[in-house]
Structure 1
Amino acid sequence: MFESLKKKFSRTSDKLEEELKEEAQQENNLDPDEKPQKKRSFFSFGRKKEEPKEEETTEQLALESGEDDSGEEVEESSLLSEETTDSEEITKDEPKEEKKSFFSFGRNKKEEVEEESVEEADEDSEEESEDKKSFFSFGRKKSDDDDEESSGGFFSFIREKTISEKHVEDTLWELEMGLLEGDVAMEVASEVVESVKQNLVGKKIKRSNDITEYTFNALRDAVAEIIDIPGKNMTEMIEEKKAQGEPLVVMFVGINGTGKTTTIGKLANYYLKKGYTPVIAASDTFRAGAIEQVNYHADNVGVKLIKHQKGSDPAAVAYDAIEHARAQGKELVLIDTAGRMQTNTNLMDEMKKIKRVANPDLVIFVGDALTGNDATEQAVKFNDAIDVDGVILTKADADSKGGASLSIGYVIKKPILFLGMGQGYEDIMEYDAQWMLNQLFSEDEEEVSESE
């Protein structure tokens, strides 16, 4: 997910490092005597240190001291050592010959020398292949490779440098253009760039690791502010309404093709698995085949569907579903509405009527993450017309750019509640800002799953 944004964030760190290194070279401010040091992994900043493992167990100590579990001395090893002493004395002065393999006989000396040179070349190529670590390698668990020294890309200054506005000007302009190309809304891109600028300018640096650390923290802090919009939790709201003896009424709005009806099926299944009993209202009486489509999903997940004839009053369908839930003690009503373009005045007015009659506790806009800025613009129009309470983004798992996920909540000041993560009924998850942050600042899915 969000590979495009990850690359842009990575490039920001690299670009700033290039700017400062170039200036330092002109000032003769690079330390030529600096010994190669380890390039700190990107996500190691702020990570808690792991507790050291016990070096020796009680059993190991007992063996080393020559005692068994009963406290008696172990003599077997000493006997073996006595037996081998004589043979060691006889052979210690004789040079040991390396045992030749079966197939080495018959080869000439030249072939053996050539083989040795190939092995040495392989070792050299392995050493040269240790490239400078990528921007998103930071935060990964420490591995054996991290213990080895790496000089690739590492440098330090003779005199400490201070990051100034001129250093970040080109870098941040490139970042802003990259965000806009990634379908990030203009105001969001500007906010991220301004926040990063404020966090970086004035920072004092001594080595390239400092640049990477400060850039990482600045970007992460800026994005964290953007994506964490406080709002209502749907599950908590169900419990609150249940305590009052009322169902939670949720109305879904959005244009055709965003996966709105499928999302309703996913949510019905999600809350059914949590022990609640949902009911679906087929209030899309306008589009041909809409009632059959929602009926298909209701049958698949095993929930009740309230429906009328095609062309009937959608508000009446919503009203009947709410009354059914009250009578049967069901906790959740999910109202499907006709997908409509935000520019269609008549259909928007009909949607407002459904809201007046049903009086929903939540109005949720369903948008397609792959449409980027279009999803954000649609959310703005629906929010202006009907005042939505939250957002569900579908197809988030296939979103390489991440523009909608980063922008939509911040622009309309409403939280993302769920993310569609696939085509199955199980493929939906409650939105978590920390999870999203990890997705944006981790190199691969494995690292993300470890951080959850």
Structure 2
Amino acid sequence: MFDNLSFKLEKAFQTLKGQGSITEVNVATTVKEIRRALIDADVNYKVAKEVTDDIKAKALGRDVLTAVSPGQLLTKITNDELTELMGGTHQDIKLDGNPSVILISGLQGSGKTTFSGKLASYLKGQGKQVLLTACDIYRPAAIDQLKVLGEQIGVEVYAEPENKDAVKIANNAIKHAKDNSKKIVIVDTAGRLAVDEAMMDEISKLKEALNPSETLFVVDSMTGQDAVNTAKAFNDRLNFDGVVLTKLDGDTRGGAAISIRRVVDKPIKFISTGEKMDAIDKFHPDRMANRVLGMGDVVSLVEKAQQTFDEEEARRLNKKIRKNQFDFNDFLSQLEQIKKMGNIKDLMGMIPGMGKALKGIDVDDDSFKPIEAIIRSMTMEERESPELINGSRRKRIADGSGTSVQQVNNLLKQFNDMKKLMKTMNKMGGGKKGLAALNPFGR
């Protein structure tokens, strides 16, 4: 996500490298490159011009402090402008009414049904009682898809396959929700291949009849500027409350995420990546600006870790580490925890500087498969006591996991190195003392 844009923006800031002061000439050159990078990323031309004009005006009006280089100053100004462009601050969805009704709209293929399932899972995780409602009465597989998702996440799906009146289905769903103490009703609606009058009429009638607390427009970010144009057409007719950007993990140039707020004047509330039901995040403009500029997003990374954090497991693991009893079963458990956090490349991109380092490198969840296969090919005794693994056992483990003896040797070496590191930290007193002793710059 945003890899190409980040790379081009970095190149733009490099034109100021070594410059001792901000001048109209060097700022104009840099701003021109920033504008070109935004337009290449499919940001609306008018929006790109407005933003870069603001950046130029603010840069020329600032004195550069001795501790800050012109490049750093322009990066900070650009970061502030991108944050403001994408909405400034995060806005939560409104959950008014009993039950609260969330109406999901968008074109066919934008990921509405999948997002409906993700949102239901997200709200269920907050302890809320949710009902999914199938109001796509045209696409044959839509009801079945929603039922599969509902079963996967443990959320009830209300559907009337024989009924072809979306408004009646939705109203019946709300009655069902009230009778069964469901506090939130998510209504998945029909999409089309293009914005047409029949579609707009139906979604408008649904909104009028349901008076939802929140109407969300789901848009495929891979469609670039077309996504922004479609959002505007929907908003002119529907006046939705917020935008959801899907498929941000795909081959997208990022322009929709950056310029959609300015064009429709509605906040982006969620972003969605991948097909997994937990691959949904609240949209934070400041964090996204950081990622666009290659600064990472450590706050979101920590939040993801906290969502999968098992306090009891952490205590158990800490106890084993202190006793130097960490084994391959624990290692496998930690791999599972990391995988729960989401797409690996996306997670690594949240670490400052990693986005640039990973440019052009294919990193995905499959990267862990050889390691998992090796560990699962070990006997329980071998996992608990890796020192037992001799030459013949290594050969058996390699054959059983479909890997090579060299790969098995590499994993065993890395595991032993990690155990030595843990042992050193324990000797230094563990925690902050241990970490400080391992840090050559620590005091």
Report the TM-score, using the length of structure 1 for normalisation.
Answer: 0.62
In structure 2, what is the Cα distance between the partners aligned to 1:187 and 1:304? 45
- 1:387-429 CA-partner distances (Å, limit 9, x unpaired): 1100111111335521111111221111111111221111111
* Residue pair 1:369, 1:399 contacting (<8 A) in 2 also: no
Tell me, yes or no, if structure 1 residue 190 matches structure 2 residue 49: yes
SS in 2 for 1:398: coil
Tell me, yes or no, if structure 1 residue 386 matches structure 2 residue 234: no
In structure 1, what is the Cα distance between the partners aligned to 2:232 and 2:76? 30
Question: Tell me, which stretches of 5 or more residues in structure 1 are unaligned?
Answer: 18-153
- 1:254-304 CA-partner distances (Å, limit 9, x unpaired): 111111101111111111121111111111101222211212211221222
Quickly say closer, same or farther: Cα 1:399–1:274, change in 2 above 3 A. farther
- 1:354 partner letter: L
Counterpart among 303, 318, 338 of residue 155 in structure 2 = 303
Residue 267 of structure 2 corresponds to 415
- 1:191-222 CA-partner distances (Å, limit 9, x unpaired): 22011111222545698962212211221111
- 1:193 partner letter: T
Residue 98 of structure 1 corresponds to none
SS in 2 for 1:219: helix
Quickly say closer, same or farther: Cα 1:178–1:326, change in 2 above 3 A. same
Residue 177 of structure 1 corresponds to 36
Tell me, yes or no, if structure 1 residue 248 matches structure 2 residue 107: no
Quickly say closer, same or farther: Cα 1:248–1:13, change in 2 above 3 A. same
In structure 2, what is the Cα distance between the partners aligned to 1:155 and 1:280? 57
Return the offset for 1:448.
3.1
Tell me, yes or no, if structure 1 residue 163 matches structure 2 residue 15: no
SS in 2 for 1:396: coil
Residue 335 of structure 1 corresponds to 187
In structure 1, what is the Cα distance between the partners aligned to 2:104 and 2:41? 27
Of the two, which has the highest radius of gyration? Answer: 1
After TM superposition, list the pairs within 5 Å mapping 1:118-137 onto structure 2. none
Residue 292 of structure 1 corresponds to 144
- 1:10-55 CA-partner distances (Å, limit 9, x unpaired): 12212344xxxxxxxxxxxxxxxxxxxxxxxxxxxxxxxxxxxxxx
In structure 2, what is the Cα distance between the partners aligned to 1:268 and 1:162? 50
- 1:353-383 CA-partner distances (Å, limit 9, x unpaired): 1111111111100011111111111111110
- 1:90-110 CA-partner distances (Å, limit 9, x unpaired): xxxxxxxxxxxxxxxxxxxxx
Residue 357 of structure 2 corresponds to none
Return the offset for 1:443.
5.0
* Residue pair 1:3, 1:400 contacting (<8 A) in 2 also: no
SS in 1 for 2:15: helix
In structure 2, what is the Cα distance between the partners aligned to 1:196 and 1:269? 40
Question: Tell me, which stretches of 5 or more residues in structure 2 are unaligned?
Answer: 297-346, 354-443
Residue 216 of structure 1 corresponds to 75
Quickly say closer, same or farther: Cα 1:328–1:197, change in 2 above 3 A. same
In structure 2, what is the Cα distance between the partners aligned to 1:214 and 1:405? 24
Counterpart among 350, 364, 376 of residue 448 in structure 1 = 350
Quickly say closer, same or farther: Cα 1:230–1:442, change in 2 above 3 A. closer
After TM superposition, list the pairs within 5 Å mapping 1:330-369 onto structure 2. 330-369=182-221
* Residue pair 1:367, 1:393 contacting (<8 A) in 2 also: yes
Return the offset for 1:310.
4.7
After TM superposition, list the pairs within 5 Å mapping 1:40-79 onto structure 2. none
* Residue pair 1:231, 1:414 contacting (<8 A) in 2 also: no
SS in 2 for 1:391: strand
* Residue pair 2:90, 2:284 contacting (<8 A) in 1 also: no
- 2:33 partner letter: E
- 1:403 partner letter: G
Tell me, yes or no, if structure 1 residue 200 matches structure 2 residue 59: yes
Quickly say closer, same or farther: Cα 1:327–1:298, change in 2 above 3 A. same
**4+ residue segments displaced more than 4 Å:** 202-209, 229-232, 443-447
Residue 439 of structure 2 corresponds to none
Give the paired residue count: 303
- 1:169-189 CA-partner distances (Å, limit 9, x unpaired): 343233222211111122321
Residue 130 of structure 1 corresponds to none
Residue 171 of structure 2 corresponds to 319
Residue 71 of structure 1 corresponds to none
In structure 2, what is the Cα distance between the partners aligned to 1:205 and 1:250? 48
In structure 1, what is the Cα distance between the partners aligned to 2:65 and 2:236? 50
- 2:278 partner letter: E
* Residue pair 1:282, 1:336 contacting (<8 A) in 2 also: yes
* Residue pair 1:155, 1:207 contacting (<8 A) in 2 also: no
Tell me, yes or no, if structure 1 residue 12 matches structure 2 residue 12: yes
- 2:113 partner letter: T
Question: Which of 1 and 2 has higher RCO (CA within 8 Å, sep 6+)?
Answer: 1
Quickly say closer, same or farther: Cα 1:412–1:230, change in 2 above 3 A. farther
CA RMSD, 1 decimal: 2.5
* Residue pair 2:104, 2:189 contacting (<8 A) in 1 also: yes
